[in-house]
Amino acid sequence: MSVLLIAGSPTEHSRSATLLGGVEQRLHAAVDDRRLRVDRLHIRDLSPQALLLADWGHPSVVRAIEQVANARALVIATPVYKAAYSGVLKVFLDLLPQSAFKGKAVLPLATGGSPHHMLALDYALRPVLQSLGARHILPGVYASDSQIPKDEDGEYLIEGDIAQRLDDATHLLLHEGLRLPPAAMVRPVPFAQALYSV
């Protein structure tokens, strides 16, 4: 069983990529790696010419479409520009077969300059996900720029309300999207690391 994390930002270090990384950390913390494989797809790494010319035969596009087909669930992260998801993500979604998300659960994540763009998840991205046949589109997580500040080293931070919302979203992805039983959520603890009192 696998989850594919799709980074829809044209830049490598972005707030939306930070949200995606937060979900990845939570997935690894919640489920044993042998039970759930987590893969990443950075759309910016695909051939720009192949994307713009809709070259389905280009090796990078073929591989990306295979990754989508092989995943049981998808987490899609995008910045919001002009009240819509990124153009990079749009070009990629346009290349996918009409039933590419059939039977899959999808967790959308987005970031934007202000809270005014949060409806882009519901009014711009959700209809496209539905048109691709997503079985279950989970409630998305939107964060404004001020909710993902930088630390002293220039790294983006996930704290407070956004951290809690990512916890909740990951929980929903695992239990409702992937329908993992509770037993699958517990990692075994070696006896030497067990804490106990007498």
Query: Do residues 8 and 92 make contact, with C-beta atoms less than 8 angstroms apart?
Result: yes
Say which CATH superfamily domain 2-193 falls into: Flavodoxin domain (3.40.50.360)
Q: 149 CB contacts (<8 Å, ≥6 apart)? A: 156, 157, 159
Q: Is the sign of the CA dihedral 108, 118, 131, 12 positive or negative?
A: negative
| Nearest-angstrom CA–CA distance, 81 and 46 | 21
CA trace torsion 11, 73, 120, 145 (10° rounding): -40
Give the pLDDT of the chain (198 residues) as one tens digit per residue: 899 999 999 988 899 999 999 999 999 998 887 789 999 999 999 999 999 999 989 999 999 999 999 999 999 999 998 888 999 999 999 999 999 999 999 999 999 988 778 888 888 999 999 999 998 999 999 999 999 999 988 899 998 999 999 999 999 999 998 988 765 445 566 666 666 554
Other CB atoms within 10 A of residue 113 CB: 13
